[in-house]
Amino acid sequence: MACESTYDEYGMYQTVLTLHSWNRWLALVLAVAATINAFLRTPHIIDGRPRGSKWDTCFMAAVDLQVLLGLLLYFGLSPYSTEAMNNPSGAMKSASLRFWGFEHEILAFGSMAAVRLGRIFATRGSATPETRQRRRIICFAAALVTMLAAAFAERRPWFRAWPG
């Protein structure tokens, strides 16, 4: 593939890819923690209003950071997405280009939407605490599953060495 030589170079691309690769673990650990927390507690009420937990906030922040790094890769740094955008129909014929150029992003944005929905269900609306809890569990579990698919459906290093 035309992108292989760029892939081997160190620099901005390798740095952002490595950060994106490591932050995946933070996001996954927080996804598990926030989902377990959602199982154990109903969204608590402070001053008469439902509040999200610290786990929800940390989980959402880690996913947002992951998406930000992903956008940098997608719209500038990654030879996979560049190749896929330049030749979408050709990219559909290569499993790897199709995954990094399209499928990975669909899964990632799906998981970002699920986290946000879970947070909205926990903190807004007039449903009972138990209903809000159930919806938050479903959304966070869906976010966890889609993140696992986004991160592990294509084989990549689990722990990428720091470039240098």
CA atoms within 13 A on the CB side of 35: 16
Percent helix / strand / coil, the chain, rounded to 5: 75, 0, 25
Q: Which is nearer to ligand HEM, 116 or 160 (CB)?
A: 160
Q: Applying CB under 6 A, which part among 51-59, 88-96, 123-131, 144-152 lies near ligand HEM?
A: 144-152
Q: Does 108 bind ligand HEM (CB under 6 A)?
A: yes
C-alpha distance from residue 11 to each of 8, 70, 160, 164 (Å):
10, 16, 14, 8
Closest approach of ligand HEM to the CB of residue 42, in Å: 26
- Pick one of 14, 35, 53, 111: the residue that binds ligand HEM (CB under 6 A): 111
Beta strands 45-46 and 49-50, pairing class: antiparallel
Contact footprint for ligand HEM (CB under 6 A): 17, 20-21, 24, 27, 63, 66-67, 70-71, 73-74, 78, 80-81, 100, 104-105, 108-109, 111, 147, 150-151, 156-157, 160
